[in-house]
Amino acid sequence: MKNFKRVMCLILALVCATMLFTGCKEEPEVAPNVFAIAGPTGVGMVHLMEEYGVTLASAADEVVGKFVNGEADIAALPTNAAAALYNKLNGEVTVLCVNTLGVLYMMDNTDTVKSMADLNGKTIYAMGEGANPQYILEYLLKENNVEATIKFAASNDELTAKMVSGEAEIAMVPQPVATTVQTKTTFKIALDMTEEWSKVNPDSQLMMGCLVVRDEYLNNNKKTVEAFLEKYAASVELVNSDVAGAATLCETHSIIPKAAVAQKAIPYCNITYVTGAEMEKGLSGYLEVLFNANAKSIGGAMPGEDFYYGA
């Protein structure tokens, strides 16, 4: 009888140990579905395209849709689109890092624009009416007490055509379009709008691109996300240190159509890697300006502190 009880106790102990071990066993982490957008926002991803099988999209709306249906895990997006996605999904996305500062430049074909003050009384052509470029330009003009007339083109192609024809003599142009314009005209870059932003709002930064992650994926795959971020930071560093190599990859993966344009444009795209408290401080200030200009531009409300990874 004693032996029987002893055997039963051993069996129960083994069963309990097995259940405890099984209950504590970690589920294996899975590789992310990664998306990027053609243009500067996707440039920092260029050295990871093949390793992660990154899917390239032509517009932010396409990637936002992938997040909504649960298909995308990590993606490079404009920061305002990331904020809007946060609001749309009830806070279930997190911004991992800022990957692009400002890509907007004031270009001049009159050789008269040396400062924001020189824009007073001038006509400025731009694209992006009802979107970030409009709000950024209007904010900077207001903060510099400059009164200027803004004429909007419907697209970058239309804006370029107006500059090539001579109709537009001063224009705010994004990269890599600005570089393309310089190959066709005598336009020069007069002002870096990222620098102009810092002059009037030093507590924030003109942060236009970022990486976001679905919270469900992040919570279940934290080690994988951290490993991805390490590789992403290395990719950004390599982009900035080997511009020619990055430009070739940009053409290969259709992030920027021509390597020659990409090589000239990348140094002006402000490709970066900013995270944590620095990211929260700089990005929240930028989003606040957009919110004050048009709350819908960031989804109707300012993101909460949980929007910022590692802050």
Query: Where residue 167 falls among pLDDT bands split at 50, 70, 90?
Result: very high
- Which domain range does residue 189 map to? 104-200
Element (H, E) at 100: strand 93-101
**Is residue 94 located within the same domain as residue 79?**
yes
**Is residue 228 located within the same domain as residue 253?**
yes
**Is residue 109 located within the same domain as residue 68?**
no
Tokens of 266: 């990348």
CA-based nearest residue to 57, from 285, 245, 255:
255
In this prediction, residues 50-60 reach a mean pLDDT of 94
Q: How far apart are CA 37 and CA 53, in angstroms?
A: 14
pLDDT at 3 over 90: no
pLDDT at 262 over 80: yes
Specify the pLDDT at position 311. 74
- The DSSP call for residue 308 is B
Number of residues that this document lists for the chain: 311
Least confident of 15-19, 130-134, 265-269: 15-19
Q: Is residue 122 part of a domain?
A: yes
pLDDT at 25 over 70: no
Cis peptide before 176, with omega less than 30 degrees from 0? yes
In this prediction, residues 289-296 reach a mean pLDDT of 97
In this prediction, residues 181-205 reach a mean pLDDT of 96
Specify the pLDDT at position 26. 60
Query: 110-149 pLDDT, tens per residue?
Result: 999 999 999 999 999 999 999 999 999 999 999 999 999 9
Q: Is residue 25 part of a domain?
A: no
Q: How far apart are CA 19 and CA 9, in angstroms?
A: 15
**291: amino acid identity, one letter:** F
**Is residue 210 located within the same domain as residue 303?**
yes
Q: Is residue 23 part of a domain?
A: no
pLDDT at 22 over 70: no
Element (H, E) at 284: helix 276-293
pLDDT at 240 over 50: yes
Specify the pLDDT at position 23. 47
Query: Where residue 186 falls among pLDDT bands split at 50, 70, 90?
Result: very high
pLDDT at 2 over 70: no
Query: 6-15 pLDDT, tens per residue?
Result: 544 445 445 4
Q: Is residue 219 part of a domain?
A: yes
Q: Is residue 28 part of a domain?
A: no
Q: What angle do CA 47, 86, 141 make, to 5 degrees?
A: 85
pLDDT at 1 over 50: no
Residue 70, domain CATH: 3.40.190.10
Q: Is residue 229 part of a domain?
A: yes
Element (H, E) at 5: helix 2-24
pLDDT at 302 over 90: yes
